[in-house]
Amino acid sequence: MTTPDLPAPSDFIRAIVAQDLTAGKHGGRVVTRFPPEPNGYLHIGHAKSICLNFGIANEHHGVCHLRYDDTNPTTEDPEYVQAIQEDVRWLGFEWGDKLFYASDYFEQLYLYAVQLIKKGKAYVDSLSAEEIRRYRGTLTEPGKDSPYRTRSVEENLDLFRRMRADEFEEGAHVLRARIDMASPNINLRDPVLYRILRAHHYRTGDKWCIYPTYDYAHPLSDAIEGITHSICTLEFEDHRPLYDWVIEQCDTPHRPQQIEFARLNLSHTVMSKRKLLELVEKRYVAGWDDPRLPTLKGLRRRGYTPEAIRAFCEHIGVAKRDATIEAALLEHFIREDLNRRAPRVMGVLRPLRVVIDNYPEGQVEEVEAVNNPEDPRMGTRKVPFSRVLYIEREDFREDPPKQFFRLAPGREVRLRYAYIIQCTGVVKDERTGEVVELRCTYDPQTRSGSAQAGRKVKGTLHWVSAAQALEAEVRLYDSLLQNSVGGPTDAQDFTAQLNPHSLERLTGCRVEPSLAGSSPGHRYQFERQGYFCVDPDSTKDRLVFNRTVSLKDTWAKVEKAQRGEESG
RNA sequence: UGGGGGAUCGUCUAGUGGUAGGACGUCAGACUCUGGAUCUGACUACCUAGGUUCGAGUCCUAGUCCCCCAGCCA
Measured CA to C1', what is the nucleotide nearest A323? B12
Find the DSSP H helices in A120-213: 129-135, 153-164
**Taking a C-beta distance cutoff of 8 angstroms, is the pair A541, A515 a contact?**
no
**Angstrom distances, CA of residue A307 to CA of A1, A316, A327, A391, A481:** 8, 14, 17, 33, 25
A321 CA vs B14 C1’ separation (Å):
14
Domains of chain A: 12-261 (3.40.50.620), 350-462 (2.40.240.10)
Give the pLDDT confidence of A167-198 residue by residue, as tens digits: 999 999 999 999 999 999 999 999 999 999 99
**Which pLDDT does position A490 carry in this prediction?**
47
Q: For residues A298-313, give the mean pLDDT.
A: 98
Q: Give the closest residue to A276 by CA, choosing from A43, A12, A27.
A: A43
- Looking at residue A343, what DSSP letter applies? P
Tell me the pTM.
Answer: 0.95
Which residues of A belong to the active site?
Answer: 37, 263, 273
Measured CA to C1', what is the nucleotide nearest A555? B35
Give the pLDDT confidence of A221-239 residue by residue, as tens digits: 999 999 999 999 999 999 9
**Which pLDDT does position A523 carry in this prediction?**
98
A397 CA vs B72 C1’ separation (Å):
66
A558 CA vs B39 C1’ separation (Å):
21
pLDDT tops 80 at residue A407 = yes
Q: Is A176 within 7 A of strand B by CB distance?
A: no
Q: Is A284 within 7 A of strand B by CB distance?
A: no
pLDDT band at A485 (very low <50, low <70, confident <90, very high): low
Give the pLDDT confidence of A46-58 residue by residue, as tens digits: 999 999 999 999 9
3-state class (DSSP) for residue A487? coil
Q: Give the closest residue to A533 by CA, choosing from A544, A200, A541.
A: A544
Q: For residues A471-481, give the mean pLDDT.
A: 97
A530 CA vs B42 C1’ separation (Å):
28
**Which pLDDT does position A182 carry in this prediction?**
97
Q: Is A162 within 7 A of strand B by CB distance?
A: no
- DSSP character string of A376-440: GGG-EEEEEEESEEEEEGGGB-SSPPTT--SB-TT-EEEETTS-EEEEEEEEE-TTT--EEEEEE
Measured CA to C1', what is the nucleotide nearest A373? B37
Q: Is A525 within 7 A of strand B by CB distance?
A: yes
A430 CA vs B58 C1’ separation (Å):
74
**Angstrom distances, CA of residue A532 to CA of A380, A500, A520:** 19, 22, 11
Measured CA to C1', what is the nucleotide nearest A74? B73
A19 CA vs B18 C1’ separation (Å):
26
pLDDT band at A492 (very low <50, low <70, confident <90, very high): low
**Taking a C-beta distance cutoff of 8 angstroms, is the pair A261, A237 a contact?**
no
pLDDT band at A565 (very low <50, low <70, confident <90, very high): confident
Q: Is A252 within 7 A of strand B by CB distance?
A: no
Give the pLDDT confidence of A72-123 residue by residue, as tens digits: 999 999 999 999 999 999 999 999 999 999 999 999 999 999 999 999 999 9
**Which pLDDT does position A6 carry in this prediction?**
35
Give the pLDDT confidence of A247-288 residue by residue, as tens digits: 999 999 999 999 999 999 999 999 999 999 999 999 999 999
Ramachandran class of A530: left when φ > 0, alpha when ψ lies in -120 to 50, beta otherwise: left
Rounded to the nearest 10°, the torsion over CA A399, A404, A408, A409 is 70
Residues of A (85-124) placing their beta carbon closer than 7 angstroms to any atom of strand B are none
User: What positions of strand B are covered by protein, i.e. any atom < 7 Å from a CB?
Assistant: 2-8, 10-16, 23-27, 33-38, 66-74
- Looking at residue A104, what DSSP letter applies? G
Q: Is A215 within 7 A of strand B by CB distance?
A: yes
